[in-house]
Amino acid sequence: MAVSAKMPAIESSVVNESPLWSRRLVKFGAYALLIGFALVQFIPFVWALSASFKPEIEIQNSLSFPPKLIPQNPTLQNYFDIFTIVPFGTWYLNSFLVAFFTTLLTLFFASTSGYAFARIPFPGRGVVFWAIIGTMAIPAVITLIPTYIVLKSLGLTDTLQGLIIPFMVTAFGIFLMRQFFTSVPVELEEAARVDGAGRIRIFSQVVLPLARPALSALTIFTFMGRWNDFLMPLIIIGKSELFTLPLGMSTFRGQYKTDWNLLMSGSILVMIPIVILYLFFQRFFIEGIATTGLKG
């Protein structure tokens, strides 16, 4: 750091090989690219938001050019209608229950086993851990049909439990927590042990409270993954009252092809919890991707 802090002075006096105009050009290009891409990213969302406030007549009219971004007679009707036309409230609750309980159970299983893999020497630890990590290399699609058969034979198809139980222990979660616990100083535990604390107490009262960042990252990824999951509900859920939001939206799109105002208000409602989660925990999202991504 000290070196690089001194370098620019030399650079600007000696190195005027890359002239000012070229550096300005690079910066201009960077801004143009970033702003351009940001617009491309935002426009579909803004366009969806706009449609969600338009009365049906305006949607029909906008099916001819030119389309209007700002609704002429903005209405909240679409946001009410979607709850009466389809059981949107039930789907919302189902999605929430599935995501919430999967996350809770994942936190429990990943932290207990992650802790043991990091800290408790027991026979077979290495082999078992690497076997678990090894499964991460296998594409999920391999397990699609077998999981369906397992759930069916356990009588868990067409139940919300069937969407929770298969996902409550994941290699990713165990890996994430194990990596974290490895970085906690052993001295902390030894001090507690001298005071006569057992494993369970050390884990729950000393180590776990320190693991908040890792637990937050795991919470976000698990909740988001379950909230957005489509394939598993599609294959195991048949009853409309057990649909999760993505599955419900998919069938809704099949039946109400041209009711864009309703489709868009539904879409916005599905995104809201994730947007809130994102606004609060943005740091964990991005750090989680950057670090676990690179290490995985």
Partner 1 sequence: MAISADRPVAQEKVLTLQRQKQQDSLAGWLFVGPALLFFSVFTVFPILFGVFLSLFKINVTTFENRTWVGLDNFPKVLGNEDFQVSIWNTARFSFFVVIIQTSLSLLLAVAVNQKIRGRTFFRAAFFFPSISSSVVISIIFLWFFNKFGLLNYALSLIGINGPSWTDDPSAALPAIMSLNIWTTAGTFMVIYLAALQDIPGQLYEAASIDGANGVQKFFRITVPLLTATTYFVVTLGIIGTFQVFDQAFIISGGTGGPQKSTLTIVFYIYQQAFRERNGMGLAAAAAVILFVIIFSLTLLQRRFFKTEQNY
Q: Which of residues 138-197 bind partner 1 (CB under 8 A)?
A: 138-150, 152, 165-171, 174
Residue 108 Cβ vs partner 1, minimum distance, rounded to whole Å: 9
In the complex, least distance from residue 3 CB atom to partner 1, rounded to whole angstroms: 7
CB of 75 or CB of 251, closer to partner 1: 251
Chain positions 258 to 277 lying near partner 1, rule: CB under 8 A, are 260, 263-264, 266-267, 270-271, 274
Residue of 221, 231, 123, 98 lying closest to 171 (CA atoms) = 221
Q: How far is the CB of 84 from partner 1 (least distance, A)?
A: 20
Binding track over 35-74 against partner 1, x by CB under 8 A: --xx-xxxxxx-xx--x----------xxxxxx-------
| HEC profile of the chain | CHHHHHHHHHHHHHCCCCCHHHHHHHHHHHHHHHHHHHHHHHHHHHHHHHHHCCCHHHHHHHCCCCCCCCCCCCCCHHHHHHHHHCCHHHHHHHHHHHHHHHHHHHHHHHHHHHHHHHHCCCCCHHHHHHHHHHHHHCCHHHHHHHHHHHHHHCCCCCCCHHHHHHHCCCHHHHHHHHHHHHCCCHHHHHHHHHCCCCHHHHHHHHHHHHHHHHHHHHHHHHHHHHHHCCHHHHHHCCCHHHCCHHHHHHHHHHHCCCCHHHHHHHHHHHHHHHHHHHHHHHHHHHHHHHHHHHHC
Specify the residue for token string 């050019």. 65
Closest CB 139 distance from partner 1, rounded Å: 6
Whichever of 48 and 192 has its CB closer to partner 1, that residue is: 48
Least distance from partner 1 to the Cβ atom of residue 273, Å: 10
Site string for partner 1, 198-237 (x = CB under 8 A): -x---x--------------------x--xx-xx--xx--
Q: Which amino acid is at 37?
A: F
Q: Which is nearer to partner 1, 96 or 285 (CB)?
A: 285
Residues 2-31 that bind partner 1 (CB under 8 A): 3-4, 7-8, 11, 14-15, 17-18, 22-23, 26-27, 29-31
Which of 76, 188, 191, 286 touches partner 1 by CB under 8 A? 286
Smallest separation (angstroms) from partner 1 to the CB of 75: 18
Subset of residues 237 to 256 that bind partner 1, contact rule: CB under 8 A: 245-247, 249-250, 253-254
| Distances, alpha carbon 236 to alpha carbons 18, 168, 170, 184, 296, in Å | 61, 17, 20, 41, 30
Minimum distance from residue 76 beta carbon to partner 1 (Å): 19
Regarding 293 and contact with partner 1 (CB under 8 A), the answer is yes
Comparison of 30 and 57: residue with beta carbon closer to partner 1? 30
Interface with partner 1 in residues 101-120 (CB under 8 A):
109-110, 112-113, 115-117, 120
